[in-house]
A and B are shown apart, each in its own frame.
Chain A
């Protein structure tokens, strides 16, 4: 309903949302523990991250909670203590515990300073299969792919669904050279591993994807729009893949995600609800008023992977090549009158080497052609040349 009213406003106006610098410095309240962890019906290890909130105005990285004791407990069953593998990151040992559908799990935390927190019991609900993932590549919403999902629970037990999407895509650096620039006039061959031509980059869709069927006569979700994948970051340069993870969740968890969405995503209309503090499922054991942010999830996971090739896009909406602005720099010597030739060459070489050293330029071709880093080395664009095991051509 809010959608249409804000769209109505758009009809009256053009561009009514603008960037705006807040005049006041927003000072953070006291630090609060943030818990991000889960157990699933899939094989572990399971990870729990403990961090803290940080003031909005600060550029610092959130402080992590090290030295805590973190325990995952199965109702009427075993409990395991997680090991801190990185500062603030706690993990179960392999094969120590595995979530089972129909059982409940709880997270207990004792911080280094002695404060204790505990989550509510979280039941792992059966998650039905994903029937189909479809995508629409027409340019109606801009360049990219709109994903849709069909799923249903024939037993009618599932009311609330949530999805995560993990994505990976293959791309190519267009101006890769198999030579290394040593100095002016001197090059050497690159080893095969150093030629970073094809890479795979991984990411996660940050949208909060939720759906409730509690007011439907069947537990059936048809043609539900999941997320729109934009064509930025070379996603559709060669081939793209999305792994859709489906979870059936309980009402409490649904309200938590909905709260995050209401207060962080669905904002900016004049009929916005009052923002509020979103309640998670973890509280201080001594003082129920002291909450931790975040949610300890226990879910059964159903996955489905799709692939999209660049060639599938209709011609009209084919995304622009990601590396269209790759420039080749021709570093000719420009000698100043009065300079000796050798002095000129030396100064020029120093400049070139400095540019290469700081990474501003990368050698492209003989004799003296250079290009931007990301155009000549796909790893510089954030990917890895290692093909993921699940990748299919």
Chain B
């Protein structure tokens, strides 16, 4: 519980007073004796306190919880204030004690006002252990100075050593551990400073500190990034220990907040956003699944085309241009069930960093963004478990030491346990359907000697959707990584990592035995990386390394299913490629004002055989009929080589302590491409490697941003402008069929993209109300202007991309009512995305058909959605084994039918205009989560 200490009498006029009251001060014997004249009828105690503070220049020190809801009927006529407090006491079962400074201490027990020197303290027994009130004149003075006192432990005087040993030496050594009570994690790097001096120490990796102190009383300040400043009063008699719990700076538990390790103003990377994992469980959810991507969507510069669309668009980039890493493993499918759920189990994540620009040279392979998600290490000290259950999914995770302090494991499982919503439907085809998904994430970490470490992590996710008992879809995602960190010397660290990623899906349809088939698709990626961190001088941070990526793609193939099937087998040739990249980058801290980063990456892509490469007759459009030559490459033969130099640059200049300007330039390239011809990325979209016809995608981006902090970094305001150009985007000819297309080259059109925008972010990091507001204005255009008419879209003119939604406003707000109850709101507004609509109709073969406008000339209605969540924590007694919490979420609280698309359909011989919305009602969800410590 938080103790609310009112420092100054409130100057605001209380409009809450329901009865007339009058206060008088009267002088008796030259000394001011305050008296009270008042008449309160069933008035809140808080109102009375407020009035007294205003009229009598006194301040009340109390815990709001005690006062909350207490109503009092009391009257007084020129009554000395002490007597009035007596009356209040008998009416409220609280005790009021006023000291000579005019501070009124409110307690649940009688206070003994006698004081015996500075060291004296007295604990008054109360019903709850942590509701102690400590009274001592000088202590109170200190307390008043401490604005952010997290709890009243800070007022308690801790005796270190035994008083009888106090003459043994002049100093004592105080040691202990510093930890976060939320998860009992130790806090390394926390500082312990003797108040009023600059003397202090820093805690080690296990959060352990040790400080030498002169005998006598001291106040110690424990500080750690993101945590509240915590005070302890100690009386040193001799050596001793004091373990301290430092609470999160966020006043409520697990609040939604984006925090930066370094302050945003200091950080060089203008396009980096760190997502705080604690936050995730508080954001309103859909069907109870905390979803990291939902938080990403609320960041400036990130767009989504709507529910059910897998992937997201960063600064005008396409969904396949985001490099999504889970412990360094690229993840090809980040969703469950067609994009409605995230494939990441949020309980196991350590961090999630989104790089929209200013991407450093160690990252490569995608042209728009990097989303770097890390699995956390298991607890090195003790076993813990965590879990939750929602309407359709359940999850559990366990962690603990393998060998205490040196090795740990963590394992999380999540699965749907029911598809009951299907049973509620009247359509028999759907009643006979089923949907299932599950994922497992595991990591084991070893702390080796000399600061070296080794970690192995694995992730598996699967989806299964069966339609009407004869069509089955299956999706699999596997990720495996081994990371070894070696400290070579003080200046050089080596990170070796090997990763393997695999994504596959399959489809079976036996609804008609003669046409029964199965289809399979798979993409594999193996990475071998050697990355070095080199610190040649104090002000240089150099990273260099070598990355090898082996790609293997098994294009979508089809086989007959069963003996009676007439389907002809179609097994396309597997695609193989190797991307080798070397990079070096240096972050140079020139001065307090200026930090500069320069990086260079060169990537080399080799496409290997076996392969059949098509040449098309010169001077003719690329069509199957114009294939002039087919070159067959044998296994392992180099089919095509591309080399791309990539320059990365960023700089930060501080205009003032709390104001900085940042600039960045990135050049990126990409050799594997997702083939998507629909508005949103569809679950059956496949990836294809560059070849002689499909050139690597390339992107260039510049950005300029201004970052400002207010109020001791509590408030943050930033604005970033960017301009991005994309080359060799893949578009498709009219009517191109991407499935089982053996000569895809003939249906592909090369396009260019361009996008620009201005992002604003206002963030309040802490306090009872916290969260952020982001607004982005951005435009994204595509241009396909090939030589032949069938290689042009919209006659070769630039047209808006399908996700071009100029205005994008997001608000995420948390409000903490009490320590156990908080509310969270998520508001989204964005412009309607462009669509292609029919403009003319014609009669043909006895019916009416429509003919479409040029691409993306119209917009669907704007998207507005409000989500709400209330989170209720169980009580937090330390000795309790299981901590439970409830979350009640409502997705789409307004019940709006946001249009996903609009279209025309024939109804008889008439055309009717229709809109498709994914959700047309509010979706409430109740989730139970628990933690076992």
Per-residue B-contact encoding for A1-30, CB less than 8 Å = 1, 0 else: 111110111111111111111111011110
Point out the residue from B514, B739, B858 that lies within 8 Å of A220, measured CB to CB: B514
CB pair B840–A53 under 8 Å, yes or no, is: yes
Asked if B429 lies at the interface with its beta carbon under 8 angstroms from chain A, I say yes
A272 touches B844 (CB 8 A): no
Q: Please state if A29 and B839 are interface contacts (CB–CB under 8 Å).
A: yes
Binds B, one of A276-284, A326-334, A366-374: A276-284
Within A248-290, the residues touching B (CB, 8 Å) are 255, 258-260, 262-265, 267-279, 289
Instruction: Name B560's closest neighbour in chain A (CB-CB).
Output: A217
A276 touches B734 (CB 8 A): yes
Say if the beta carbon of A206 comes within 8 Å of chain B. Answer: yes
A to B contact number (C-beta, < 8 Å) = 218
- Closest chain-A Cβ to B158's Cβ sits at a distance in Å of 57
A182 within 8 A of B: no
Segment 871-910 of B: residues with Cβ below 8 Å from A: 897, 899-906, 909
Whether the Cβ atoms of B679 and A56 lie closer than 8 Å is no
Contacts of A27 in B (CB 8 A): 839
A262 with B839: CB separation less than 8 A: no
Residues of A within 8 A of B916 (CB): 16-17, 268-270
- Let me know if B628 is at the binding interface, CB within 8 A: no
What mask results when residues 848 to 887 of chain B are scored 1 for a CB within 8 Å of chain A, else 0?
0111110100100100000000000000000000000000
Whether, in the assembled complex, A119 has its beta carbon less than 8 Å from a beta carbon of chain B, the answer is no
CB distance from A62 to the nearest CB of B (A): 6
Residue from B507, B684, B911 with most neighbouring chain A CB atoms (10 Å): B684
Contacts A36-B844, A206-B847: A10 and B838 contacting too (C-beta < 8 A)? no
Bound CA span A215–B568, Å: 6
Instruction: Give every chain B residue within 8 A of A215 (Cβ-Cβ).
Output: 558, 567-568, 570, 740
Give Cα A264–Cα B567 distance, bound, in whole angstroms.
Answer: 28
Question: In the bound complex, what is the Cα–Cα distance between A338 and B281 (angstroms)?
Answer: 81
Q: Which residue of A lies closest to B426 (CB)?
A: A14
Task: Tell me whether A271 and B682 are in contact (CB under 8 A).
Answer: yes
Asked whether B620 is an interface residue with its Cβ less than 8 Å from the other chain, the reply is no
Q: B908: nearest residue on chain A (CB-CB)?
A: A206
- State whether the Cβ of A387 lies closer than 8 Å to any Cβ in chain B: no
Query: CB-nearest residue of chain A relative to B473?
Result: A4
- Among the 9-residue stretches B74-82, B402-410, B687-695, B917-925, the one with 4 or more Cβ atoms under 8 Å from chain A is B917-925
A352 to chain B, nearest CB (A): 34
Q: Does A336 contact B (CB under 8 A)?
A: no
Q: Assuming the A-B contacts A29-B853, A263-B852, are A255 and B680 also in contact, with contact meaning beta carbons closer than 8 angstroms in the complex?
A: no
Q: Mark B417-438, 1 if CB is under 8 A from A, else 0.
A: 0000110010111100101000
**CB nearest neighbor in B for A33:** B842
Most buried by B among A36, A62, A275: A275
Interface centre among B682, B849, B912 (most CB of A within 10 A): B849
Choice from B428, B567, B899 contacting A217 with Cβ under 8 Å: B567
List residues of chain B with CB within 8 A of the CB of A264. Answer: 849-850, 904-906
Partner of A265, one of B429, B906, B915: B906
A3 to B838, CA, bound (A): 22
B308 to chain A, nearest CB (A): 5
List residues of A (109-157) whose CB comes within 8 Å of B's CBs: 140
Cα distance, A22 to B850, chains bound together (Å):
16
A232 nearest in chain B by CB position: B908
A274 to B833, CA, bound (A): 13
Known: A11-B422, A13-B918, A223-B512. A271 touches B679 (CB 8 A): yes
* Min CB gap A385→B, angstroms: 24
A383 on the B face (CB < 8 A): no
Any B CB within 8 A of the CB of A32: yes
Q: How far is the CB of A289 from chain B (nearest CB, A)?
A: 6
**Which A residues touch B3, using CB under 8 A?**
none
Instruction: Report if B363 contacts A (CB, 8 A).
Output: no
What separation, in Å, do the CA atoms of A223 and B849 have in the docked complex? 28
Given contacts A4-B471, A223-B514, contact A18 B567 (CB under 8 A): no
In the complex formed, the residue of B with least CB distance to A61 is B843
Q: With a CB–CB cut-off of 8 A, which chain A residues contact B918?
A: 9, 12-13, 16, 270
CA distance A34 to B850 in the complex (A): 12
Taking CB atoms, residues of chain B closer than 8 Å to A217 are: 566-568
Q: Does A54 reach chain B (CB closer than 8 Å)?
A: yes
Which chain B residues lie closer than 8 Å to A164 at the CB level? 845
Min distance, Cβ B185 to any Cβ of chain A, angstroms: 38
Q: How far is the CA of A162 from the CA of B197 in the complex (A)?
A: 90
Q: Which residue of A lies closest to B861 (CB)?
A: A23
- A314 contacts the other chain (CB 8 A): no
- A32 to B507 CA separation, bound complex (whole angstroms): 42
> Which residues of chain B have C-beta atoms less than 8 A from A53's C-beta?
840-842, 851
Residue of A nearest to B471 (CB): A4
Q: How far, in whole Å, are A116 and B439 apart by their CA atoms in the complex?
A: 63
Question: Contact at A277–B851, with CB atoms within 8 Å?
Answer: yes
Cα separation A3 to B433 with both chains bound (whole Å): 13
A33-57 vs B, Cβ < 8 Å mask (1 yes, 0 no): 0101000000000000101111110
CB distance from B511 to the nearest CB of A (A): 10
For residue A105, CB closer than 8 A to chain B, the reply is no
Known contacts A51-B842, A215-B740, A272-B678: does B920 contact A16 (CB below 8 Å)? yes
Contact A294 B842 (CB under 8 A): yes
> Is A345 close to B, CB under 8 A?
no
CA distance A272 to B810 in the complex (A): 27
- Knowing A10-B427, A20-B899, A220-B566 are in contact, say whether A267-B905 is a contact too (CB < 8 A): yes
Q: Which of chain B's residues has its CB closest to A4's CB? A: B467
Instruction: Let me know if A216 is at the binding interface, CB within 8 A.
Output: yes
The complex places the Cα of A14 from the Cα of B680 at a distance, in Å, of 21
Known: A7-B430, A7-B433, A268-B916. A54 touches B840 (CB 8 A): yes
Within 8 Å by CB of A11, from B425, B677, B900, lies B425
Q: Does A222 lie within 8 Å of B514, measured CB to CB?
A: yes
Contacts of B802 in A (CB 8 A): 274
A window 173-209: CB within 8 A of B = 204, 206
Asked if A218 is at the interface (CB within 8 A of a chain B CB), the reply is yes
A169 at the interface (CB under 8 A from B): no
Residues of B within 8 A of A3 (CB): 467
* A274:B566 contact, CB within 8 angstroms: no
Contacts of B861 on A, CB cut-off 8 Å? 23
Residues in A neighbouring B465, C-beta threshold 8 A: 4, 8
A272 engages B433 (CB within 8 Å): no
In whole Å, how far is A157's beta carbon from the nearest beta carbon of chain B?
A: 16
> Which of B680, B789, B851, B903 sits near A271, CB closer than 8 Å?
B680
Given contacts A1-B507, A8-B465, contact A20 B839 (CB under 8 A): no
Chain A hits for B22, CB < 8 A: none
Q: In the bound complex, do residue A11 and residue B433 qualify as a contact, i.e. CB atoms below 8 Å apart? A: yes
Best-surrounded residue of A56, A260, A268 (most CB of chain B within 10 A): A56
Interface presence of A363 (CB below 8 A): no
CA distance A164 to B846 in the complex (A): 11
- Tell me whether B44 is interfacial, beta carbon within 8 Å: no
- Is the pair B337, A8 in contact by a Cβ cutoff of 8 Å? yes
What is the distance, in angstroms, from B310's C-beta to the closest C-beta of chain A? Answer: 10
The answer to whether B567 touches A293, judged by C-beta atoms less than 8 angstroms apart, is no
Shortest Cβ-Cβ A-B pairs, 8 listed: A20-B915, A271-B682, A53-B840, A276-B734, A216-B566, A206-B847, A34-B842, A271-B678
Q: Can you list 30 contacts pairing A with B, beta carbon distance less than 8 Å?
A: A1-B682, A7-B430, A8-B338, A9-B918, A10-B427, A11-B422, A12-B340, A14-B921, A16-B897, A16-B916, A16-B917, A18-B920, A22-B902, A22-B913, A26-B837, A34-B843, A56-B911, A62-B842, A164-B845, A215-B568, A215-B570, A215-B740, A264-B850, A270-B918, A271-B678, A271-B680, A271-B683, A274-B677, A274-B679, A274-B732
Residue numbers of B with Cβ under 8 A of A are 306, 308-309, 337-338, 340, 421-422, 425, 427-430, 433, 435, 465, 467, 471, 473, 507, 512, 514-515, 558, 566-568, 570, 677-680, 682-684, 732, 734-735, 739-740, 789, 802, 836-847, 849-853, 855, 858, 861, 897, 899-906, 909, 911-921
Additional 9 contacts, C-beta under 8 A, given A268-B914, A270-B680, A272-B903: A4-B465, A7-B430, A8-B338, A22-B913, A32-B851, A36-B844, A49-B843, A53-B840, A264-B906
